[in-house]
A and B are shown apart, each in its own frame.
Chain A
Amino acid sequence: DVKVTQSSRYLVKRTGEKVFLECVQDMDHENMFWYRQDPGLGLRLIYFSYDVKMKEKGDIPEGYSVSREKKERFSLILESASTNQTSMYLCASTYSGTSGRLGYEQYFGPGTRLTVT
């Protein structure tokens, strides 16, 4: 079974703090994604990465950055947390077509519920 793990289930941070959310997958997936989920808005893509050290902006990248130094790990960084970043954060991964293993279905971690006070 594919496993995607996230470093914390719940996190409480103060405004202005630097926050790191970590995601690790164990299936040698090329693509990894970070979403935030808010009631009534569904999942919105923040950033994604299709290879080590590569990143692409999603629909709402402002206030966030990412790091992918190893294939299995994708980190989301809030440089200076703000209250409007209080949300559920979901990480996902999938194969890329470039590897010849076309999957498309994304496998999700359990999520991190971040509260910024």
Chain B
Amino acid sequence: AQSVTQPDIHITVSEGASLELRCNYSYGATPYLFWYVQSPGQGLQLLLKYFSGDTLVQGIKGFEAEFKRSQSSFNLRKPSVHWSDAAEYFCAVGDDRGSTLGRLYFGRGTQLTVWP
């Protein structure tokens, strides 16, 4: 069965520092991978997605993620974090099979705190 693991429940970084949020997935076929961000009290906003092609994908707000098939990973990175990046981040893998087409499986999320 498909699953997503985000090993870090909570990460704290200083403003201006680099950031890497980890995501590992379990999926039998070529995965469709996503990162979403959720600000307090809000819905989820898509940061970036990977379907195929270049394994390094660029997203909004200066984020990027790298798909590594050999490690079943899709880690999110940002070279310099801003205070406004404080939020919860969710990794997800998409299902493209049969009656569950379009379903996403989410990790439990990583809460990011940014120190000024």
**Among B45, B46, B102, B108, contact of A31 (Cβ-Cβ < 8 Å):** B102
Is B103 an interface residue when CB atoms closer than 8 A count as contact?
yes
Of the listed stretches A36-44, A68-76, A77-85, name the one at the interface; the rest are far from the partner chain: A36-44
Q: Which residues of B contact A109 (CB under 8 A)?
A: 43
Number of interface residues of B (CB under 8 A): 25
Is B51 an interface residue when CB atoms closer than 8 A count as contact?
yes
Task: Given A104-B32, A104-B96, A111-B43, decide whether A42 and B109 contact each other with a Cβ distance below 8 A.
Answer: yes
For residue A87, give the distance in angstroms from its CB to the closest CB of chain B. 14
Q: Which residues of B contact A34 (CB under 8 A)?
A: none
**Among A40, A50, A105, contact of B101 (Cβ-Cβ < 8 Å):** A50
For residue A70, give the distance in angstroms from its CB to the closest CB of chain B. 19
Task: Given A42-B109, A56-B99, A105-B49, decide whether A111 and B32 contact each other with a Cβ distance below 8 A.
Answer: no
**Among B32, B44, B107, contact of A108 (Cβ-Cβ < 8 Å):** B44
20 A–B contact pairs at CB < 8 A? Answer: A40-B9, A42-B90, A42-B106, A42-B108, A42-B109, A43-B90, A48-B103, A50-B99, A50-B101, A90-B44, A94-B102, A96-B101, A96-B102, A104-B49, A104-B96, A105-B34, A108-B43, A108-B45, A111-B41, A111-B42
Interface residue ranges, B against A (CB under 8 Å): 9, 32, 34, 36, 41-46, 49, 51, 90, 94, 96, 99-104, 106-109
